[in-house]
Amino acid sequence: MQSVRFNSPGNEVAKVSYTARRLVELGYGSTRTLGLSVADGPPRAGDLVLCRVTEIGQHRFLGQVHGKRNRLFVGDTVVVAYGARYAPDQFEAVVPGDLGPCDLVAGGGIAGRVVSSHSRMKTPTQVEPLGLVTDEHGDLLTLARLARPVVPVLAPRPRTIAVLGTSMNSGKTTVAAALIRGLSLAGRRVGAAKVTGTGAPGDPTLMADAGASRVIDFTDLGFPTTYQLPMPQVIRILRGAITDLTSHQADAIVLEVADGLLQQETAALIRTPEFRTGVDGIVFAAGDSISAVAGVRLLRDEGLPVLALSGVLTSSPLATAEAVAGVDIPAYTAAALSSPSLADQVLAGAVAGRVVAGDGGGLSDDGSRLAEHGGLPQERSRLTEYSGPLTAETVA
């Protein structure tokens, strides 16, 4: 268990969440102690706060570094960060206006106030803030203050693939990890980053397990989440992540952009010049066929190069057939993208602005998809005969 010690009465020891992990890295778990401050004003996103757990609800575990989870009990003290959250399948939350009781809105260590929740969610785990975290000199500690330094680099940016999706749980992280795995097996030094979302250890850990030589996310750069961040700060995260991975000698970069294309920060980010110049191609993870078609068309309307479909969609051959009937790009399972040859071809396709046909599973002469790498079967459904718009009558 990662923990830190406070110089409060009794030298209280607290569990450290994923978002606050830099405290341990900087010695507060061993040689340095922390203090507490009860500020007069409202907390801000990124402020670190010591909380006592008062009621266990939806989140029963505290996410820690390297994917570890620590069981929570009433009475535990935990160090988390204030932040807003956007999660259609879980909670929408905002930063509270005071230091009063609030909610643990994400297991990675985000304190907020829930304003809406999915019907499947239990009530959030309740926490009582004890004070904002300070260093040994009494100065407030924030994620921005603890952010990893990004060293400017003169080297050219490596080829970069962004994984976007239709929504939360459309398969983005699985697809990103599959690409990382395939590129690593192809002998590439892959840098990976999650540039938007909510601070949590699961996605970066999976990327590292898949073979990424270095993984970074927005929490490393000083932000607990990216929901409600001004766009200049989101752009700063994108630039910082790419610069960091380039400086660590990556020769390929895989980026994950959280949530769906309609989420406000994602929608704004993909329209920025920085995204267009920093990303060579997109693999789009979709949950179903109609969202796949709509998402690809939206990205194409923005002039962005979509290279392939993947995600939950590819669990169903019929849904995949419906999707590729409406968009002229191949669809691959995550297992297929783990193939070194296919992953390398997708990366090369990013540079050329198209997916390489042939072994990579592109279109064959008769318009069917090759099956070697997990694309559509060679036998074509009647949907692939149809070139018009998808309607209820078309897919019945």
Environment class of residue 215 by beta-carbon count within 10 Å: exposed (0-12), middle (13-18) or buried (19+)? buried
The closest of 144, 96, 150, 85 to 118, measured between CA atoms, is: 85
| Dihedral angle computed from the Cα positions of residues 310, 331, 297 and 206, in that order, rounded to the nearest 10 degrees | 20
**pLDDT tens, position by position, for the chain (396 residues)?**
788 888 866 667 899 999 999 999 888 877 788 999 987 789 999 999 999 999 999 999 999 988 889 999 999 999 999 999 999 999 999 999 999 999 999 999 999 999 999 999 999 999 999 999 999 889 999 999 999 999 888 899 999 999 999 999 999 999 999 999 999 999 999 999 999 999 999 999 999 999 999 999 999 999 999 999 999 999 999 999 999 999 999 999 999 999 999 999 999 999 999 999 999 999 999 999 999 999 999 999 999 999 999 999 999 999 999 999 999 899 999 999 999 999 999 998 853 443 333 333 332 323 333 333 344 333 333 223 322 332 222 222
Q: Coil, strand, or helix at residue 183? A: helix
Give the CA angle between residues 52, 57, 63 to the nearest 5°: 65
Separation between Cα atoms, residue 97 and residue 84, nearest integer Å: 12
pLDDT of residue 381: 31
User: Which residue type does 150 have?
Assistant: V
pLDDT of residue 41: 85
Instruction: Tell the residue number behind the tokens 């820690």, with chain if given.
Output: 64
pLDDT of residue 368: 32
pLDDT of residue 10: 60
DSSP string, 115-146: EEE-TT--PPEEEEEEEEEE-TTSPBPBHHHH
